[in-house]
Structure 1
Amino acid sequence: MVEANVGRSAFSAAGRGRLTCGAAALHVDLIQSVNPGLAGGLTIGLTGQANQFPFCRVNAQVAYGNNDTLKFEVWLPDAGSYNKRFMAVGNSGMAGAIDTWNLMLQLNSGFAVAGGDSGHSASLNNNGSGAPGVYLPYLHDTNQVNAWIHDSIAISTPHAKALVAEYYATTPRHSYYYGCSTGGAQAFALAQYHPQLFDGIVAGCPGNWYSHLALSFLWNAQKTLVGLFKNDSHLDQPTLDFITSAVLDHCDSLDGVADRILENPLDCTFDIASLACPPSSFSNPANATTCLTPAQLAAAKAIYEGPGAAVYPGFSLGSETQWALQEGQLSNAFTVPILQNLVYDDLTYDATRFQWDKDIPDVDENAGKWIDAISSNLSEFRTNGGKMIVFQGWADPYNAAVWPIQHLHQIQSAIGGKQRDVSDFFNVFMIPGGGHCGAASSYPHVPATYHTIPELITWVEQGRKPESIKSTGPPDKSNRSRKLCPWPQTARWDKIGDVESSESWVCV
């Protein structure tokens, strides 16, 4: 096993073993196993996604830090199916496992693809899930914490690229990265800390302000009081659905199409106070949701506002039906474990003690510097010719949707010059009705497959930045497609063509 050192070859000059994958020979010293796979021989996930052609599956690991280990896999399509490009994929949540579903997706597009466990094992960390009072070893190891979001992709990628070059006897023409959620945070870390590794990056629904994203979970839990103590501030699912329906009734047609989707929630002027219960009755009738009590109204307003612009933004109109996870579950899974394990190193720490006017610097110092990637100066990535596509769903149940827009503005101010233009290397695409890394459960008619990678390849290899991105495949199985536009543009129907076709929409 070799010691990880970014920029150093993964292949040693001596002690090589000869491993084969079908007819190919691999000379490496970090391989754990090599397995040839026949077409259709491997099925991943509940959707039954299978490999479309033969490939070589390489399991490897590399040491880093202080006796830490990062496990990764490289999947190598047969030469006739290889598109001569390398793709690395990121992780989700607290990571600790290899994203084989994404590996399969990229393999079937012809990439030589690699993915790792982010430098720690889920099996040693409560199976990759956080919970109050649970010890998570990786959050007590500085090297593992730093690898999780900032460095793990950079640790494994040079070794994976070298293996790809060895296997095909030539280096890949271009290198790409795709990640969503935590993988989106890893994408920003790559652009910030490792700007030379990839020609193009896709960052989906990015949690790159991870420590403050976690704080927003705590804020929303406290305001709805679920998981702390429960009272009438709680917004149950019928109430959340009721709010969203009222928002759509008010603003749905702003884009010229009544389709129960807000093209741009920032254009909507709906006033949540209009749903207040009459003063004569601060309660809803039994088995019906027709208004909001004062406590519910205050809770909803708090979620819209968020903990403050300097901490983390709030949620957008039209996303309400997705808020259930914000009412305690996400705080218990992420915020409390991070506070207990990483910020205060005290498993008895009570999150109700968190003081919003005093304790945020503790989070910044003990967590943010290790897991956030929010620099507005991505000039080195830009100078190296890197291109970056960011996408974000307006109805994301985890992330406040406006954060990528705010970060875009920060980048524009930092390196955009007088015109504040960074579109030559960085573009954000907002997804009306989009959820977290795909479909929102409350918007099954919204196309949820985003064709970002073909647009990124064209941008990197032909110099044509994406004027739009097509989205297809709504969960309702219809043939509906939509056009996603680079912010601040939004899509409008041309009033001529088929409203269900992306070709009939224009970016304005």
Structure 2
Amino acid sequence: MARLCRLATFLLVQAAVAVAAPAHISSHCAKLRSLSLEQFNASIVNATYHAANAFNVSETFNDIPFCEVQAQVPYGKNNSLSFVVWLPDECDYQQRFLAVGNGGFAGTIDTVSMLKQLNAGLGLVVAGGNGGHEATGNTGDGFLPFMHDPGQIRAWIHDGISLFTSAAKEVVLAYYGKAAKKSYYAGCSTGGAQGYALAQYHPHLFDGIYAGSPGFWYSHLMLSFLWNLQKTNVGGTSLRKPQLNFTAQAVLDTCDTLDGVQDGLIENPLLCNFDIDSLVCGGSSEPDRCLSPDQIEAAKGIYAGPRRADNGEILYPGFSFGSEREWLLQEGSLGNEYAVPVLRNMVFDDLNWDPSTFDWSTDVDLVGSRASVLIDEISANLTSYRRTGGKFLTSQGWSDSYNAGELPVSHLEDIQALLGGDISDFYRLFMIPGGGHCGAAQYSPEVPAEYHYLGPLIEWVEAGTPPAQLLSSDPPDKSNRTRKLCPWPQTAHLVGENVNDWKNYRCE
């Protein structure tokens, strides 16, 4: 229908028929520049129409023509949040609104995700914001002046999406003359954390939320980065890539077939019982095919996750068996580029603070009082969101190089305990064997990494049909392999013959 409508409009314009200008043409888009958004404390900066295949984001072009509206929301003393709204032609609008989240420390609008959702052909208006600050440099101390401003910190994770959503919906109403009937949110990583913040603090804003690879315990995620940095940067404790590959293969040799299929994946790493001590070097002349005693202890630390020094309290889950190939980032860059700047700026307010001096007892309390209260979204109380009829879909890769895979599993159990039993009527978690951070694991290109969640989320919200499975497709190696993702604690079990076809699996 959308193609026929677009063709009919094109023919009318080409024939210069004397009728009112169609809602999607450039002149109608330009009129939005004068739209007043004062009631939302926002203002339009510009409005530009893009024909099909005229808008380029990282060498991907728009299949659907759209009107781009750029706007700002000022707040606090000298802050502003920039956001954009992409309005497809009326033929392609099915009265659905979608906001996308941010990654990392934000500071930019995720136009890659926006274009992906626009091109999905699901009748969506798509909007995105920059989290309330501009990215003026790379990760690190020079990137984080906003962390000294509580208002900007709130906008970064907790309130940024809500700040522009109401104004963006007014733009939608002005452009089409009809409002969105359903509102959705999709974000990954920090965007996943933003999804949890929206459900907790703004439960009436979105009918459906997708939160991928969610870093919702953000302050303790930083502690996880610091812990693993310390464990692998003392003496001979670093684990080189060949050793990580060797360790991962040894784990697979033990646990790959627990699900009855030898496919290089561990369907449920929690069932894997592997003894890392079995890899200790003896008289081996191949150093990449064994681990020294110090490296064994470092690996045990990564598996265990950070602990308080005074009472052994678990501060963040450790990494699961089967994730070892993805540990390199944990040995340096994540700690130095994320954990150290956050701790220096937000906790210790000292750009010369030495991360090796972190006290794993008293300093943990400082993290709680100075950072956790501002950037964490760990409450299990989603009662208000459930009462609105909202649907929450979240996913997590077991081989995520950033987030320990087990965190969403334990959080699901916390929500069940608080709300009382089965919560599958509004909340579902999909764990991804071999899945990385917001997609492919870097060193597992054979694993399907495109997660088809938005269509099932829309069907759940609008038709009341909960997702009993998700399709995962398009592995980076360009093969046709597909996988079936199951709502936890179910896992995929082979019932057919083709191990590379998702239709040959059943969730049990």
Taking structure 1 as the reference length, the TM-score comes to 0.90
Distance of 2:471 and 2:332 partners within structure 1 = 35
CA offsets per residue over residues 307-354 of structure 1, 9 Å max, x none? 136310100000001000001210111111011111111111111111
How far the C-alpha of 1:75 sits from its partner, in A, is 0.6
Distance of 1:98 and 1:220 partners within structure 2 = 30
Q: CA RMSD in A?
A: 1.4
Distance of 1:104 and 1:414 partners within structure 2 = 38
Whether 2:222 is the aligned partner of 1:223: answer no
Distance of 1:22 and 1:260 partners within structure 2 = 55
Distance of 2:90 and 2:336 partners within structure 1 = 47
Match of 2:197 among 189, 203, 207: 189
Distance of 2:218 and 2:206 partners within structure 1 = 22
Q: Paired residue for 2:500?
A: 500
State the AA in 2 paired with 1:62. V
Distance of 2:337 and 2:363 partners within structure 1 = 20
CA contact (8 A) 1:181 1:205 kept: yes
Distance of 2:103 and 2:231 partners within structure 1 = 26
* Higher share of residues assigned helix: 2
Q: Paired residue for 1:307?
A: 306
How far the C-alpha of 1:256 sits from its partner, in A, is 1.2
How far the C-alpha of 1:451 sits from its partner, in A, is 0.6
Whether 2:336 is the aligned partner of 1:337: answer no
Q: Paired residue for 2:184?
A: 176
How far the C-alpha of 1:52 sits from its partner, in A, is 0.3
How far the C-alpha of 1:137 sits from its partner, in A, is 1.1
CA contact (8 A) 1:66 1:143 kept: no
Distance of 2:243 and 2:51 partners within structure 1 = 50
More displaced 10-residue stretch of structure 1: 301-310 or 420-429: 301-310
CA contact (8 A) 1:75 1:112 kept: yes
CA contact (8 A) 1:248 1:260 kept: yes
Q: Paired residue for 1:41?
A: 54
Q: Paired residue for 1:429?
A: 430
Q: Paired residue for 1:114?
A: 127
| Structure 2 counterparts to residues 9-158 of structure 1, below 5 A | 21-24=26-29, 25-26=31-32, 27-29=34-36, 30-45=43-58, 48-109=59-120, 110-123=123-136, 126-127=137-138, 129-131=139-141, 134=142, 136-158=144-166
Q: Paired residue for 1:210?
A: 218
Whether 2:475 is the aligned partner of 1:470: answer no
More displaced 10-residue stretch of structure 1: 194-203 or 471-480: 471-480
Distance of 1:49 and 1:505 partners within structure 2 = 33
How far the C-alpha of 1:66 sits from its partner, in A, is 2.5
Distance of 2:410 and 2:176 partners within structure 1 = 42
State the AA in 2 paired with 1:28. L
State the AA in 1 paired with 2:499. V
Structure 2, gaps ≥5 residues long: 1-24, 37-42, 308-312
State the AA in 2 paired with 1:374. I
Distance of 2:259 and 2:340 partners within structure 1 = 40
CA offsets per residue over residues 70-102 of structure 1, 9 Å max, x none? 000101111112232000000000110000101
Q: Paired residue for 1:481?
A: 482
CA offsets per residue over residues 30-60 of structure 1, 9 Å max, x none? 1111111010001111xx2110021101111
Q: Secondary structure at the match of 1:374?
A: coil
1:35–1:209 distance in 2 versus 1, CA, 3 Å: same
CA offsets per residue over residues 95-149 of structure 1, 9 Å max, x none? 10000101111111231010000001112xx34x124xx4721011110011100
Distance of 1:260 and 1:53 partners within structure 2 = 39
Q: Paired residue for 1:364?
A: 368
CA offsets per residue over residues 363-391 of structure 1, 9 Å max, x none? 11111111100111000000001100010
State the AA in 2 paired with 1:359. D
State the AA in 2 paired with 1:22. S
Q: Paired residue for 2:275?
A: 271
CA contact (8 A) 1:21 1:34 kept: no
Q: Paired residue for 1:10?
A: none
State the AA in 2 paired with 1:38. A
State the AA in 2 paired with 1:292. L
State the AA in 2 paired with 1:43. N
Distance of 1:260 and 1:442 partners within structure 2 = 12
CA contact (8 A) 1:76 1:107 kept: no
Distance of 1:147 and 1:353 partners within structure 2 = 31
CA offsets per residue over residues 1-26 of structure 1, 9 Å max, x none? xxxxxxxxxxxxxxxxxxx9433432
CA contact (8 A) 1:175 1:198 kept: yes
Q: Paired residue for 1:398?
A: 402
Q: Paired residue for 2:295?
A: 296
CA offsets per residue over residues 461-480 of structure 1, 9 Å max, x none? 11111111111111111111
Q: Paired residue for 2:417?
A: 413
Q: Paired residue for 2:11?
A: none
Q: Paired residue for 2:460?
A: 459
CA contact (8 A) 1:135 1:341 kept: no
How far the C-alpha of 1:215 sits from its partner, in A, is 0.5
Q: Paired residue for 1:160?
A: 168
Q: Secondary structure at the match of 1:22?
A: helix
Distance of 1:387 and 1:148 partners within structure 2 = 23
State the AA in 1 paired with 2:95. K
State the AA in 2 paired with 1:130. G
Q: Secondary structure at the match of 2:445?
A: coil
Match of 1:198 among 201, 206, 219: 206
Give the 4+ runs in structure 1 shifted more than 6 A.
none
State the AA in 2 paired with 1:23. H
State the AA in 2 paired with 1:59. Q
State the AA in 2 paired with 1:349. W
Q: Paired residue for 1:373?
A: 377
CA contact (8 A) 2:135 2:143 kept: no
More displaced 10-residue stretch of structure 1: 305-314 or 259-268: 305-314
Q: Secondary structure at the match of 1:122?
A: coil
Whether 2:330 is the aligned partner of 1:326: answer yes
Distance of 1:423 and 1:445 partners within structure 2 = 31
How far the C-alpha of 1:65 sits from its partner, in A, is 2.2
Distance of 1:412 and 1:21 partners within structure 2 = 50
Q: Secondary structure at the match of 1:198?
A: coil
How far the C-alpha of 1:231 sits from its partner, in A, is 2.5
CA contact (8 A) 1:135 1:347 kept: no
State the AA in 1 paired with 2:74. A
Q: Paired residue for 1:6?
A: none
